[in-house]
Structure 1
């Protein structure tokens, strides 16, 4: 896999090639260990005294991901055998190496808190403050990773009863519609249609996410269905900075589109990103409520269109640009933000067309994007500007690949969804801390060269 490289002097890979002491200092300095320590330390002075070096334990957990140590057992073995490594993790020579049970208790405390999400937000805000995040485009996508425990057999769905032919009587139909509405209202938030998320609070959206391992399905490059058992990680990534600006952990069967609005609302309410203008996603996010949420945020949606068995539009091309009598597509010209209007000019083929010269063909078309937010975006679908913005979506795919290959996202060592979420949060947090450390080293090197 191609290593992510920014147009700078220093990359994450080069950071990881540094000497352990310098590398750990650079990465850990980007993480507020004190916040995590205060969250997991003993709250009461009663009971047996705690002799463990919790601060060093927390650092060693992050170092485990940096050094790609597969298990806690291997981490303990390394601490016992390598005194330099032990000291680099913050332990004293006199400190005893914690047991697996001690690390397990520490991770259990992390499952009972959202402290890792808070520290993640702090790193992003620090990167914004230091000028490393100035993106105008966000890329959103999901990636799956399998659970460690044995997958149960897939449940076979019962065959639905055959529908009765013919139209239902009005009273029977009204009663059926009422029952369907009551059934929909009683469902959990993430089992309802995506439109229900528009008016839900961010707190409800974050708390209601299903997190236990489930069977998921995805089409591979050959177009065949691939089944897997586990989880999904949903990311919103800055297209140029490649920082993870928002993340969401879910069960493997959650539809990708149902994670978009929580990510979008999270960026709107928790991040200070005034430069963002575009949200780009693949066809799996082509749902009307997602366009509405982006529109409410004052931004534009760059989402691949999924026709969903819709008929070809009459009088418009496949990008919904108007066509002339000879079915030549009008050319996208500009966007008027004040009136939210797309401007199309007559096709090149119409320059010598007699219909145009006689005034039969219209010279200019204007289309308000609010007529249909799915079809009309700014810049217009099919235009070179739209294609250029859509290509930025690949940044989130590169970050997903990087998390799996270099930060052990695939290496889930836990059975429960809560423990797996801690693993996911630690992976994304370590990645962002490494990004911030690399960017800071870039600035130092540039200052030294200019001095």
Structure 2
């Protein structure tokens, strides 16, 4: 007769002896209490159809993003065959796991409640309080998100602001790309390259139109106020410059989009540098408080004017021209467009592109998009960005703990 030997350790003891997985580290930084409270208020019955706690199902959805799973089917299969994952998510190690339909219904509930938006804001606040986010400069851009549904001819598109449609834009290499689906608008901190605000729109929505709502969300999510907002030429609209200067007391750093103009504005070069009466570009001499100063290029040694400096001014200092943002907030910005300081700031805008790359490659922003409808796509985006921020917070908390122990 064979006698089965008893276990020295319980399953929980065995798990605790193992190094913590990435999922455990990420989940340890997330507090779902507020989310669960809202879901409880919306439905007095706080358990799903098969009796699974909200927190466990939330953990499982985060696990989908951590492990870059594409579908609920893949998630259920992984939970079924991986007792460690079931344990980490909070499900019974030796019991059943939620069905695909259960996860689908729970996802719908999350979408309708919009509780993930507040969880995202809470993560941004935590990252800022830890010093992970330097809000002095914020980069804003949009990226394509392909729809998980059959494309529709342009003539049959529902232009209701909710349905997927056709979008077109230039990629980083200047190639024109077209897609059917949505557009993800994001604002990121240029230091940590973490998202601080986001929105989802149909693919055809103009980037500039969404600038106002993204700026407002940045202001609501951040405690400190950015000095600069960095955007590409697609956002080159005077209303955006005015909004940022007057309402947010900041400066927009955006290249000029000449929109096919054949001549620069009268008295200015293409980058809004004043032209002297002899036809030379004037020399930039610094700026502050919305005012840029330019001096005679002959006096500054930038050109050899046949008329000399006396052509424009009797002073040995040479002629001085000042441009002010209140005259034209689009043309006259500080630092002056094209200067080394302006270029240094604008080059940081690529941080938002790297953020998009990580969301798509590592957190399933596109490959894991197995839902339909703009609201569910937004829920999917929130799960991706929440997981990204939680990962960075977790890593830095571990570093702090190690430093203290050392």
TM-score w.r.t. the length of structure 2 is 0.86
The Cα of 1:439 is off from its aligned counterpart by: 2.4
Structure-2 residue corresponding to 1:31 = 30
Relative distance call for 1:47 and 1:79 in structure 2 (3 A) is: closer
Q: 2:274 aligns with which of 322, 328, 334?
A: 322
Matched, 1:237 2:188: yes
Contact 2:359–2:384 at 8 Å: present in 1 too?
yes
Relative to structure 1, is the Cα distance of residues 95 and 346 closer, same or farther in structure 2, using a 3 angstrom cutoff? farther
User: 2:149 maps to which residue?
Assistant: 149
Which of these residues, 339, 360, 382, is aligned with residue 338 of structure 2? Answer: 382
Equivalent in the alignment of 1:91 = 91
Task: Using the TM superposition, give the Cα deviation of residue 345 of structure 1 relative to its aligned residue in structure 2, in angstroms.
Answer: 2.2
Pair 1:343-2:293 in alignment = yes
Q: Secondary structure at the match of 2:196?
A: strand
Q: 1:369 offset after TM fit, Å? A: 1.1
1:248 and 2:199 equivalent? Answer: yes
CA 358–417 in structure 1, closer or farther in 2 if over 3 Å, else same = closer
1:443 aligns with 2:400: yes
Q: Secondary structure at the match of 1:29?
A: helix
- Which deviations, in whole Å up to 9, do the C-alpha atoms of 1:104-157 show, x marking residues without a partner? 110010111121010000011111112222231100000011111110122289
SS at match of 1:414: coil
The CA deviation at 1:341 is 1.3
Evaluate the alpha carbon distance shift between residue 49 and residue 219 of structure 1 in structure 2; reply closer, same or farther with a 3 A threshold.
closer
The answer to whether the 8 A contact 2:127-2:389 is kept is no
Change (3 A) 1:381 1:222: closer
Q: How large is the Cα RMSD of the aligned pairs?
A: 2.5
Cα contact 2:116–2:383 (8 A) shared by 1: yes
Alignment partner of 1:264: what SS?
Answer: helix
Q: Is 2:196–2:221's contact at 8 Å kept on the other side of the alignment? A: no
> 1:86 offset after TM fit, Å?
1.2
CA contact 1:328–1:349 (8 Å) conserved in 2: no
| Aligned positions of 1:3-402 closer than 5 A | 21-41=20-40, 43-44=43-44, 51-155=51-155, 210-220=161-171, 225-274=176-225, 276-296=226-246, 297-310=248-261, 311-337=263-289, 340-347=290-297, 348-349=300-301, 353=305, 355-361=307-313, 362-402=318-358
For 1:380 and 1:335, how far apart are their aligned partners in 2? Answer: 7
1:239, 1:393 within 8 Å by CA — same for their partners in 2? yes
1:382 deviates by 1.1
Contact 1:30 1:436 (8 Å CA) reproduced: yes
How many residues are aligned here?
378
Classify the secondary structure of the residue corresponding to 1:324: coil
Deviates more, 1:323-332 or 1:226-235: 323-332
In the alignment, is the contact (CA less than 8 A) between 1:108 and 1:419 conserved in 2? yes
TM-score (structure 1 length as normaliser):
0.78
| CA distance, structure 2, for counterparts of residue 79 and residue 291 of structure 1 | 50
For the Cα contact (< 8 Å) 1:264–1:293, is it kept in 2?
Answer: no
CA contact (8 A) 2:125 2:221 kept: no
Measured against aligned partners, the alpha-carbon deviations of 1:368-399 in whole angstroms (never above 9, x if no partner) come to 11111111111001111101100010000100
Change (3 A) 1:222 1:280: closer
* Matched-pair contact (CA < 8 Å) for 1:341–1:367: yes
C-alpha distance in 2, partners of 1:306/1:49?
Answer: 55
Aligned to 2:371: 414
Report how far residue 327 of structure 1 moved. 2.8
* C-alpha distance in structure 2 between counterparts of 1:417 and 1:354, whole Å: 64
For structure 1, the residue ranges without an aligned partner over 5 or more in a row are: 1-18, 158-190, 192-208
- Following TM superposition, the consecutive aligned residue runs of length 4 or more in structure 1 with deviations greater than 6 angstroms are 46-49
CA–CA distance in structure 1, aligned partners of residues 153 and 210 of structure 2: 26
